[in-house]
Amino acid sequence: MFTSQTSSFQDSIDVEDRDEFDSEEITGYSQKTQLYCYYTIYLYQGSRSEASEENVAWNQRRADSTTTQEDFSLTLVDSSLPSEAEPELRTYISRRLSKGALLGGMGNIATVELSIPEQAVGCYCCLLEQEKSPEQPDADGNGYFTQKNEQRSLTRNTFRLELDKYVQGLHSSLQTPELQNLETEVRPYLSRWYEESVMHIYRVVQLVQNNITFLLHAALSHTHVEVINSDEKTKADVSRFIKAASLQGLSQQDTTTASLCKAMSEDTQSDLVINCSTSPPTFTNTVTNRFCDEWIQAFLNAAERCNPFLLRQILENFKLKAIQDMNSLKRFVRQAEMSHYALFRCCQFLQACGNGDVLLQNARAEHSDLPEACNIITVLEEFLSEQNQA
């Protein structure tokens, strides 16, 4: 399990309920925050398993770190948790397993009360099942439980997909008897879970600062972003940020995203280039709009507080607002086909939202097979172009 905790974190922050993201009412993270991150890994054995000699010896040596139930046993392999907290965590996992609440390969996040300073922690846990050998076709669920613990905000499932992917990276390292590679591979990998799975958005905001607006616009408009003169980690961070900020996969129709991506690939616009040879990095072929600019301060303030969870929540709210505006535009376009007043309202909406270029781009891709809607969108594009020139 992965566990972590930060002191004085206001886990109940809901960004949608805040009128201003830079308000001092958003407290919890100072610029220097004490952070507690932990991991734990257990050997899980089902009752029908014929334990190997290596596992028998392992359990005998770790009898005081093994919890045995009627249907399974759970043995501690390694943990960074305080010694008084680990048995509490093992008891919690055993209770969940006995109820059938944890399934193999599916990450689960919950709040757990442990003997750790300050407050309860959010725990991510996942059962990684070992490959069944031909000699043991009836083996019942042998595997390893990896657990990562963070502050309560982890229970919001904010980074669950990232954690799921990170845990799967352990599969190949867990196939050796008695985990002979524990110190060389498994432990270093687990120790990096927070840095690799949670902090990438924070690192990108810290890197680009006010220029985050260009990345936000590139993500919404499906503009390719190229990072040059940087290490692979920075390139991966930027790529993951763009993917997290993109609306791909969130459309109501599966064909919408494919249509949009095709439209963008045929567009003549240039890629956004980030040159990291200077500090701060320089940007080429930048495009943004008022909608993206309005989110800059929210990201910067959350980054100043070293709060990756608030950063992710702000990013999700950014996407939610963009989706809401897209749905509004689609409704206006349908109404405008029958009403000139609705067309006027549509023009007003595009002028007020500040994201007209992106919305119309998406709308044209979605309505490419509807001539009347395309005519309305053409009129709206001309209106927006005239307003920008004015």
Give the list of residues 6+ apart from residue 254 with CB closer than 8 angstroms, or none: none
Give the Cα separation of 78 and 60 in Å (integer): 16
* Cβ–Cβ under 8 Å, residues 13 and 20: no
Place of tokens 């043991």: 136
Average pLDDT over residues 12-17: 39
pLDDT digits (tens, 9 = 90+) for 242-301: 999 998 766 554 455 545 555 555 554 689 999 999 999 999 999 999 999 999 999 999
What pLDDT does 40 receive?
92
Average pLDDT over residues 321-330: 93
* Lowest-confidence segment of 64-78, 84-98, 336-350 by average pLDDT: 64-78
Specify the pairing of strand 121-129 against strand 143-150. antiparallel
pLDDT digits (tens, 9 = 90+) for 164-195: 889 888 887 887 666 788 888 999 999 999 99
| Residue type, position 180, single letter | Q
Give the list of residues 6+ apart from residue 26 with CB closer than 8 angstroms, or none: 10, 13, 18, 301, 305, 310
118 confidence band (pLDDT: 50, 70, 90): low
Average pLDDT over residues 69-95: 86
pLDDT digits (tens, 9 = 90+) for 328-373: 999 999 898 888 888 999 999 999 999 999 999 888 888 888 888 8
**Residue ranges per structural domain of the chain:** 38-47+58-131+138-182, 206-248+270-389
* Prediction pTM value: 0.81
